[in-house]
Amino acid sequence: MLSWTPFPFTGAYVYDRVCVAQHWKRLHAGDAEPMPDDDAALQAWAHFHNGAFQSAFESGLDLGPAGITVANKACCVYANYLERSEKSRLALFLETAERARMLATIEPLNPAAWYWQAYALGRYSQGISVAKALAEGLGQRIRAALEETLRLQPLHADAHVALGAFHAEVIDKVGPLIGRMTYGARKDVGLAMYRKALVLNPDSAMARLEYARGLVMLEGNPDSPEATHLYEQAAAIEPMDAKERLDRELAQAELGD
Partner 1 sequence: MAKKAPRRTAERILEVTLELFNRFGEPNVSTTLISAELNISPGNLYYHYPAKDELINSLFDRYERSLSELLNASDNVRDVEDAWFFMHTLFELIWQYRFLYRDLNDLLSKNRRLETHFQWVLKNKTRAVKALLDGMSRAGAIDIDSREVEATATSMVVVLTYWLSYEYVRDPRRALEPEHAQLALMRGAHHVLNLLMPYLELGQRQHLMTLVTAYDSSDS
Contact 63, 77 (CB under 8 A): no
DSSP state of 257: -
Distances (CA, A) of 33 to 110, 155, 218: 10, 10, 30
User: Interface with partner 1 includes 254 (CB under 8 A)?
Assistant: yes
Q: How far is the CB of 197 from partner 1 (least distance, A)?
A: 17
Contact 135, 126 (CB under 8 A): no
Kindly indicate which of the ranges 43-51, 64-72, 124-132, 152-160 contains the residues binding partner 1, using the contact rule CB under 8 A: 124-132
Residue 62: closest CA among 50, 48, 78, 44 = 44
Q: 215 to 234, contacts with partner 1 by CB under 8 A?
A: 222-223, 227-228, 231-232
Q: How far is the CB of 63 from partner 1 (least distance, A)?
A: 27
Number of amino acids touching partner 1 (CB under 8 A): 31
Q: How far is the CB of 173 from partner 1 (least distance, A)?
A: 10
Distances (CA, A) of 193 to 164, 184, 213: 5, 14, 13
Q: How far is the CB of 165 from partner 1 (least distance, A)?
A: 11
Position among 213, 218, 233, 248 found at the interface with partner 1 (CB under 8 A): 213
Measured in residues, the chain has a length of 257
Q: How far is the CB of 30 from partner 1 (least distance, A)?
A: 17
- Measured CA to CA, the distance from residue 243 to residue 50 in angstroms comes to 9
Q: Which amino acid is at 32?
A: A
Distances (CA, A) of 228 to 10, 215, 217, 251, 256: 29, 10, 14, 10, 12
Position among 10, 85, 140, 182 found at the interface with partner 1 (CB under 8 A): 85
Kindly indicate which of the ranges 15-23, 41-49, 54-62, 80-88 contains the residues binding partner 1, using the contact rule CB under 8 A: 80-88
- Measured CA to CA, the distance from residue 227 to residue 233 in angstroms comes to 10
Contact 205, 244 (CB under 8 A): yes
Residue with Cβ nearer partner 1 (41 or 52): 52
Torsion sign across C-alpha atoms 55, 66, 159, 156: negative
Residue with Cβ nearer partner 1 (20 or 168): 168
User: Interface with partner 1 includes 25 (CB under 8 A)?
Assistant: no
3-state secondary structure of 163: helix
Kindly indicate which of the ranges 9-17, 77-85, 97-105, 151-159 contains the residues binding partner 1, using the contact rule CB under 8 A: 77-85
Position among 43, 54, 69, 80 found at the interface with partner 1 (CB under 8 A): 80
Interaction pattern, residues 130-169, with partner 1; x per rule: CB under 8 A: -xx-------------------------------------
Binding site for partner 1 (CB under 8 A): 8, 80-86, 89, 123, 126-129, 131-132, 209, 213, 222-223, 227-228, 231-232, 246, 249-250, 253-255, 257
